[in-house]
Structure 1
Amino acid sequence: MSDKFYKKYLLVLLSLILAFNQVDRLALGLVLQDIKVDLALTDTQLGLLSGIAFALFYSIMGIPIARWADRGNRVTIVSLTTMLWSGAVALCGAAGNFFQLLLIRIGVAVGEAGCVPPAHSFIADYFTRAERPRAVALYMLGGPLSAVVGYFIAGWLNEFYGWRATFIVLGLPGVMLAVLARFTLREPRTSRRAHSPEVSTPERIQPAPTLRDVMFTLWTDATFRHLLFSFSVLYFFAYGMAKWQPAFFVRSFGLQTGELGTWFSIIYGISGLLGTYWGGELASRYASNKEHVQLKAMAVACCAFGALLAGAYLSSSRYAAFGLIGLATLGGTMINGPLFATIQTLVPQQMRAVSVALILLFANLIGMGLGPLAAGALSDALRPMFGEESLRYVLLLLCPGQLWVGWHLWRASLTVRQSLQASALTSQSWGKQGESSIMDKSWKKHAV
């Protein structure tokens, strides 16, 4: 297959894997109310189940897997971890109580940690700086695609067959994707070594920086720090809202999961697909190699995102609420491609997978871990005062957090050009170390 066709195939397959990597989390939010009734759980337990318990293992395991991805075979990593989380998702349907489901979700988290960092590292290897916003956006179409499957299919499966059968069905496609990835994807590092057994350039063999070197290099960069903070804040408020939105519509508007899943698949599927695609396309076409412009546009989008969501939670009409959430999703997802592409361009080549994993470590522990838990605990606290409407006011309280996200993105735009220059110097420095390492090995070989 030609290189041009293979690059398109790579994006399609990685996007499908990403879709099913996220679909179980969306489905879990949709069926939380049914799990609550079936297993007699509190909102705090549901927040723990969908939040910190999953995020803790997802985030921590992402670091060693990303370290492996920065130096090892990413095809092996993606295929093995996809097989693991797919099997664990199907096993969720067999859980008989809270603690069994908790342990199975931990298994899902460990497997799903091996999806995003290796994929971004793959894309950065195959696409240039100017191409990356578009390429990453196309990859991240898997997110809104997961909404179509996770909300529409899961909603009706749950309504007709229950939440247990839903998880079993959702786990099976990932197994097939894991096999496809194992036998059709190519690791560029392996290809280079196969073509050049006597590797002679530092680009082909470079010593991997230690985790301490990586963390020091990234933390001392002002732009990366602001991006890290923006992700952490964004995930806290976004996950806090997203996990409880289905329960909000069930409690406040009396919707069933089938109808609700259909609405959410349209809102998050269509709006997410359009927003993600347009964001990458606009960044590559009108702000190519201008990350400072991209970051400022992202900051504005986040502020608008929060205002629209506040209007949705204040609305007394389900249709107005759905419409405002759709507009918010369209604007909010436009940042996906440019934001991750900026990170991959910003950090040195030897640190790409770990940089994403470190961001996800903090963002998921703070956001995915504490966001749903905080929202659930607040809902329980406000229930004596507001009854079934307690979730409406909790979600409304989370909306201003998007202004905080926008502030960090704007600050990052002010320093990104200097950071890109520093990153290029760091990459050259590691390349020279790689060259020295090769010369040392060659000297020892001839000395013997």
Structure 2
Amino acid sequence: MQQAAYKRYLLFVLMAIMASHYLDRVVLGVVMQDVQSSLDLNDTQVGLLSGLGFALFYSIMGIPVARWADRGNRVLIISVTAAIWSAAVALSGMARNYTELLLIRIAVAAAEGGCMPPAYSLLGDTFSRVERPRASAIYMLGLPIALLVGYFAAGWLNEAYGWRMTLVLIGVPGLALALLAALTLQEPRSRRDQSVTPMSQAAAPSLRTAFVTLFGNSTFRQLCLFICVWYFCSYALFHWQAIFFIRIHGLDSGAAGAWLALVFGAGALLGTWLGGEWGARYAANNEQLQLIGVVVMFSAYTVFVGAAYLVASHYVAFALLAIGTIVGNMCQGPILATIQTLVPSHMRAMSLALLYFIGNLVGMGLGPLAAGALSDALRPWAGEESLRYALIIFCPGHLWAAWHLWRASQTIVLDVAAQSEAAPG
């Protein structure tokens, strides 16, 4: 296969695996109201199941996997972890109680922690600096594809077969993708062992060395704070979307799934693609402009999403969420491309793992749990409307995230220049 064609194929397979890695979370959000009724759970337990119980192990596993990915066979890592999480997702449909479901979700989380670091490292080695904004955006299209497919499929499957069979069926595609990756993708290191530069040959740094190097970079520190706040607020909102429209606006799971597929799936798909195209065409070699652009996007996102939770009509709410989703997801490609350029090539997997370890632990771990606990706390005062007010409270936090991104934009030029002189790649 010619190099250009193989690069496109690699990107397509990694994007599909990325979608599989996120699909179960989307589906679980749609069927969660039925899971909650079936297993007799309160909102705090639901938040723990979707949040800290999942995020803790997802984040922790990213660190050793990243160490392995920075010096081992990344294709093997991706294939094995994809097979494990897909089998565990199918098994979750057989859980008989809350404890069993929580333990299975922990297994899913531990395996899914092995998805992004090795894939991210492969992209950094395969695509040039100019190509990275578009390649990163295409890779991140896996998220909106998971939203689009997940919301549509989960709503329909749940109505037709129930939540248990829905989870069993959702695990199947990942097993096929794991086999496809193992049989058709190639590890670049195996082809260049005898011809790499000394820097490329460098052994993966110790965790302490990586931590000191990365967090000694002021831009990286601000990006880390940005991701923490962004994930905390976004996951607090995202994991309660389906329940919000079912509980507050009276939709059934099928209708909620269909609407959310259009809003979050199609909206995120369009936004991620637009962000990648904008970064590649107008800011390919200007990381500062990429970050400033994302600051503007996040500010606009806050306004539209906050308004969506205030309106009485679910049609207007979906329209506002759609606009906010498009604008908010334009950040995906520029952010990933900036990180790839900012850090040494032999620390790319570790840099992503550290960023998402902290971001997921704080954001995915505490965001849904905090929103659920706040909803329970507001219930004596607001009744069934408590979830609406809980979500509204989290919206302005995205402006705080944007502030950290603005600070990163003020140091990115010097930090990229220093990295280029020390370790080009």
TM-score of Structure 1 vs Structure 2, range by shorter chain = over 0.9
Query: Relative to structure 1, is the Cα distance of residues 379 and 186 closer, same or farther in structure 2, using a 3 angstrom cutoff?
Result: same
| Structure 1 residue 245 displacement after superposition | 1.1
Which SS does the other structure have where 1:394 is aligned?
Answer: helix
**Whole-Å separation in 2 of the counterparts to 1:200 and 1:38:** 56
Query: Relative to structure 1, is the Cα distance of residues 200 and 24 closer, same or farther in structure 2, using a 3 angstrom cutoff?
Result: closer
Does residue 366 (structure 1) correspond to residue 362 (structure 2)? The answer is: yes
**Whole-Å separation in 2 of the counterparts to 1:237 and 1:344:** 24
8 Å CA contact retained: 2:283, 2:289: yes
Does residue 123 (structure 1) correspond to residue 123 (structure 2)? The answer is: yes
- Which sits farther off after the overlay, 29-38 or 48-57? 29-38
- Which sits farther off after the overlay, 28-37 or 167-176? 28-37
8 Å CA contact retained: 2:140, 2:272: yes
Which SS does the other structure have where 1:253 is aligned?
Answer: coil
**Whole-Å separation in 2 of the counterparts to 1:246 and 1:401:** 21
Partner residue in 1 for 2:38: 38
Query: Relative to structure 1, is the Cα distance of residues 200 and 75 closer, same or farther in structure 2, using a 3 angstrom cutoff?
Result: closer
Deviations 1:238-284, CA, capped at 9 Å, x for gaps: 00000011111111111011111111111112111111011011111
Partner residue in 2 for 1:177: 177
| Structure 1 residue 425 displacement after superposition | 3.6
Which SS does the other structure have where 1:102 is aligned?
Answer: helix
**Whole-Å separation in 2 of the counterparts to 1:176 and 1:422:** 43
**Whole-Å separation in 1 of the counterparts to 2:301 and 2:315:** 18
Partner residue in 2 for 1:288: 284
**One-letter amino acid of the counterpart of residue 378, structure 1:** L
8 Å CA contact retained: 1:61, 1:113: yes
**Whole-Å separation in 2 of the counterparts to 1:132 and 1:79:** 23
8 Å CA contact retained: 1:350, 1:427: no
Partner residue in 2 for 1:390: 386
Does residue 220 (structure 1) correspond to residue 216 (structure 2)? The answer is: yes
Match of 1:243 among 231, 239, 245: 239
Which SS does the other structure have where 1:94 is aligned?
Answer: coil
- Which sits farther off after the overlay, 262-271 or 290-299? 262-271
Deviations 1:44-100, CA, capped at 9 Å, x for gaps: 001000000100000001000001000000010000000000000000000000000
**One-letter amino acid of the counterpart of residue 330, structure 2:** M
| TM-score, length of structure 2 as denominator length | 0.98
8 Å CA contact retained: 1:189, 1:204: no
Which SS does the other structure have where 1:101 is aligned?
Answer: helix
Percent identical: 54
8 Å CA contact retained: 1:55, 1:369: yes
Deviations 1:186-226, CA, capped at 9 Å, x for gaps: 10001112xx3xx5741452222211111001111110001
Partner residue in 2 for 1:81: 81
**Whole-Å separation in 1 of the counterparts to 2:367 and 2:169:** 28
Partner residue in 1 for 2:94: 94
Any residues of structure 2 matched to 1:81-160 within 5 Å, and which? 81-160=81-160
Match of 2:310 among 311, 314, 319: 314
| Structure 1 residue 174 displacement after superposition | 0.3
Aligned residues: 425
**Whole-Å separation in 2 of the counterparts to 1:292 and 1:425:** 18
**Whole-Å separation in 2 of the counterparts to 1:342 and 1:43:** 37
**Whole-Å separation in 1 of the counterparts to 2:285 and 2:22:** 30
Moved over 4 A (4+): none
**Whole-Å separation in 2 of the counterparts to 1:378 and 1:54:** 19
| Structure 1 residue 148 displacement after superposition | 1.3
Partner residue in 2 for 1:402: 398
Match of 1:252 among 243, 248, 253: 248
| Structure 1 residue 176 displacement after superposition | 0.4
Match of 1:208 among 181, 184, 204: 204
| Structure 1 residue 28 displacement after superposition | 1.1
**Whole-Å separation in 2 of the counterparts to 1:84 and 1:211:** 26
Does residue 427 (structure 1) correspond to residue 423 (structure 2)? The answer is: yes
Deviations 1:376-406, CA, capped at 9 Å, x for gaps: 0011111111111110000000010010011
| Structure 1 residue 419 displacement after superposition | 0.6
RMSD (Å), alpha carbons: 1.1
**One-letter amino acid of the counterpart of residue 382, structure 2:** F
Query: Relative to structure 1, is the Cα distance of residues 219 and 200 closer, same or farther in structure 2, using a 3 angstrom cutoff?
Result: closer
**Whole-Å separation in 2 of the counterparts to 1:126 and 1:392:** 44
**Whole-Å separation in 2 of the counterparts to 1:266 and 1:31:** 17
| Structure 1 residue 139 displacement after superposition | 0.7
**Whole-Å separation in 2 of the counterparts to 1:208 and 1:144:** 32
**Whole-Å separation in 2 of the counterparts to 1:67 and 1:309:** 37
Does residue 378 (structure 1) correspond to residue 371 (structure 2)? The answer is: no
**Whole-Å separation in 2 of the counterparts to 1:107 and 1:421:** 41
Partner residue in 1 for 2:60: 60
8 Å CA contact retained: 2:274, 2:330: yes
Deviations 1:290-341, CA, capped at 9 Å, x for gaps: 0001100101111111110111000000000000000000000000001011
| Structure 1 residue 145 displacement after superposition | 0.2
**Whole-Å separation in 1 of the counterparts to 2:81 and 2:411:** 36
Higher Rg: 1
**Whole-Å separation in 2 of the counterparts to 1:200 and 1:123:** 17
**Whole-Å separation in 1 of the counterparts to 2:265 and 2:102:** 28
**One-letter amino acid of the counterpart of residue 241, structure 1:** L
Which SS does the other structure have where 1:71 is aligned?
Answer: coil
**Whole-Å separation in 2 of the counterparts to 1:272 and 1:200:** 38
**Whole-Å separation in 2 of the counterparts to 1:200 and 1:288:** 26
**Whole-Å separation in 1 of the counterparts to 2:208 and 2:289:** 31
Partner residue in 2 for 1:17: 17
Partner residue in 1 for 2:299: 303
| Structure 1 residue 426 displacement after superposition | 3.6
Structure 1 portions without partners, runs of 5+: 432-448
**Whole-Å separation in 1 of the counterparts to 2:376 and 2:224:** 31
**Whole-Å separation in 2 of the counterparts to 1:64 and 1:426:** 26
8 Å CA contact retained: 1:192, 1:204: no
| Structure 1 residue 424 displacement after superposition | 2.4
